[in-house]
Amino acid sequence: MDERVPIINMIWRREIFTMKKKCMAWITMAVMLGAASISGCSSKTETPASENQSGAAGEKSVKKENLRVITFFAGSDQWAPTWQEVIKEYMEANPNITISDESVPTAGNNDMFRPKMNADIAAGTPVDVALYFNGSDAEPLYESGLYVSWDQYLEEDSEWASSFRSTVMPSGQINNEQFNIPYIGSFEGLCYNQKIFDEYGLEYPTTWDNIIKACEVLADTDIIPISNSLLSPTCQLETMLLAQVGPENQKKPLDASWAGAIDQFKTLYDLGAFPADAATISDADSRIIFQDGRAAMTFTGSWVLNTLKENQDMRMIAVPVPEGAQGQEGAIISVFGSGWYMSKAAAERSDAALNFVKYMCSPEILARFIEVGGTPAMNIEMPANATAMNPPIDTMIPREVFNNLAKKLIYVCEGEMTADELLEECRTALSNIKAN
């Protein structure tokens, strides 16, 4: 019996998580977030107009106002229904505020989110409030000068500022300015089905050699060793690369050391580790294979844990370091990939946008999103070697370059190009982007 830490407690260590119990634990975790990181967001949520009608501040509050807001909570996104509920409730509590919801999908080939944001910026008509990405995606917003730095608002409200964990806020900074307020985060690693490993007498995949052995044994069975799509295996690439090259080289875009991680893909591919249709299967379908117990392992993120928590055989670990590699045991990809932005025009007009952001950050509202799925990564108790937490690659290089790297891994797997050739192609693309 594997006596390790339950995943529902969200205690991230290098050891293994045990997934079990009820969804209420996720809600409790989000409420704990209030004390641990952003509980202060609720300190100044929008006051209903009926309760704030005296003096100049009251006149400002009851003035009817339209807020343009954009998020990726749209289409088939799991949080879309919750988003619709909370903005409806907000407008009912604040009849002077109308939320014009401009949210659009961002998943896969149906990404309407980034084009819309960039088009609004180019036109000089930014939305009032945006839940948008960090990293390279945030640079156009910063360079436009259309969005505020949150620093002055944090300075003006010391209670609110003190409620944020210092380890969280840098994910939303550009040039040492607090350019967004981090929201729901996540982490990435290797999930495996303990029952399958026990049935086949296999050692758990806590070392890279054990992963290879499991692939060799299971490839001749009806069990798929690793259920991941190779259409665009971004999560698998992120985690395998970190384990192969280590935190320092991971931060060197397209470094020569990355070739070792790419070659690991080919090693696994040659072993028959992936689904037979890995080159065409979707991420969603590959996850279903794992969830249904037809696969032993999958490289994934904490956003899927809500679908696995009832299965007590599921475990999650940091990807182990291959022998001779430069990685650091226990290192993880910790993703604070998005945060709240506020336009200067909205901030100058009134405090409505600011109050709405504080409402969305409140523990009560955040708990409702976490109940559906996802993880507020800022609430996870990280391992003692917390310096091993690393940002995703696409926060350091343009997304189109990273996506091209991920999508063409299949060519390396099938022997159509080498890892070095793929990296050189991506370096050329990166140089062209910088030149333009």
Whole-angstrom distance, CA of residue 436 vs CA of residue 431: 9
- Residue 279 inside a domain? The answer is yes
DSSP assignments along 56-90, one per residue: HHHHHHHS-EEEEEE-S--TT-TTHHHHHHHHHHH
Model pLDDT, residue 363: 76
The SS3 call for residue 219 is coil
Same domain, 311 and 327: yes
- The pairs formed by 270-276 with CB atoms below 8 angstroms and a separation of 24 or more are 270/413, 271/212, 271/215, 271/216, 271/219, 271/225, 272/215, 272/219, 272/225, 273/215, 273/219, 273/225, 273/226, 274/224, 274/225, 274/226, 274/227, 274/228, 274/230, 275/224, 275/227, 275/229
Same structural domain, 122 and 270: no
190 phi/psi in degrees, rounded to 5: -115, 120
| 3-state class (DSSP) for residue 323 | coil
Coil, strand or helix at 168: coil
Q: What's the pLDDT at 11?
A: 31
Q: Are 219 and 272 in contact (CB under 8 A)?
A: yes
Cβ atoms within 10 Å of 213's Cβ, excluding its own: 15
Q: Are residues 326 and 350 in the same domain?
A: no
Question: Cα–Cα distance between 246 and 390 in angstroms, integer?
Answer: 10
Residue 54 included in any domain: no
Q: How far is CA 357 from the centre of its chain?
A: 19
Hunting for tokens 């210092």 — which residue is that?
166
3-class secondary-structure state, position 125: coil
Together in a domain, 196 and 343: no
**Number of domains composing the chain:** 2
- Contact call for residues 162 and 38 (beta carbons, < 8 A): no
The 10 Å Cβ neighbour count of residue 337 is: 21
CATH number for the domain including 112?
A: 3.40.190.10
Q: Which residues touch 436 (CB under 8 Å, ≥6 apart)?
A: none
Q: Which domain holds residue 137?
A: 65-183+336-361
- Same-domain check for residues 397 and 271: yes
Asked whether residue 95 is assigned to any structural domain, the reply reads yes
Q: Identify the pLDDT of residue 212.
A: 98
| In a domain? residue 385 | no
Tell me, yes or no, whether 255 and 341 share the same domain: no
Taking the alpha carbons at both ends of the chain, their separation in whole angstroms is: 57
Pairwise CA distance, residues 404 & 302, whole Å:
24
Statement to judge: residues 200 and 280 lie in one domain: yes
**Per-residue confidence (pLDDT) for residue 364, from 0 to 100:** 83
In this structure, are 197 and 166 located in the same domain?
no
pLDDT per residue as tens, the chain (436 positions): 332 333 323 333 333 333 333 333 333 333 333 333 443 343 344 444 433 333 333 344 468 999 999 999 998 787 899 999 999 999 999 999 999 999 998 865 567 898 999 999 999 999 999 999 887 788 899 999 999 999 999 999 888 777 676 767 888 889 989 999 988 777 888 999 999 999 999 999 999 999 999 999 999 999 999 999 999 898 899 999 999 999 899 999 999 999 999 999 999 999 999 999 999 999 889 999 999 999 999 998 877 776 776 788 888 888 999 999 999 888 888 767 789 999 999 999 999 999 999 999 887 888 788 777 654 433 333 333 333 567 788 778 888 899 899 999 999 999 999 999 999 999 999 999 888 7
Q: Give DSSP secondary structure letters for 4-64.
A: -EEGGGTB--SS-EE--S-THHHHHHHHHHIIIIIGGGGGGPPPPGGG--SHHHHHHHHS-
DSSP class of residue 138 equals: G
| φ, ψ of residue 66 in degrees (nearest 5) | -105, 125
Q: What is the DSSP letter of 302?
A: G
**345 and 427 housed in the same domain:** no
Q: Which residues pair with 133 in a beta bridge?
A: 338
Same domain, residue pair 275 and 402:
yes
3-state secondary structure of 315: strand
Give the total residue count for the chain: 436
Residues 208 and 132 in one domain: no
The secondary element (H helix, E strand) that includes residue 103 is none
435 contact partners, CB below 8 Å, separation of at least 6? none
Residues forming a β-bridge with 314: 193
371 in a domain, yes or no? no
The pLDDT score that the predictor gives to residue 374 is 53
pLDDT at 98: 98
The Cα–Cα gap between 171 and 182 comes to: 7
Do 311 and 428 fall into the same domain?
A: yes
In a domain, 43, yes or no: no
pLDDT score, position 7: 32
In a domain, 368, yes or no: no
Long-range (24+ apart) CB contacts under 8 A made by 202-206 are 204/2, 204/16, 204/315, 205/297, 205/317, 205/320, 206/16, 206/317, 206/320
What local confidence, expressed as pLDDT, does residue 434 receive?
85
> Which residue has tokens 């189109």?
400
Q: Is residue 407 part of a domain?
A: yes
Please state the separation of Cα 306 from the chain's center in Å.
Answer: 14
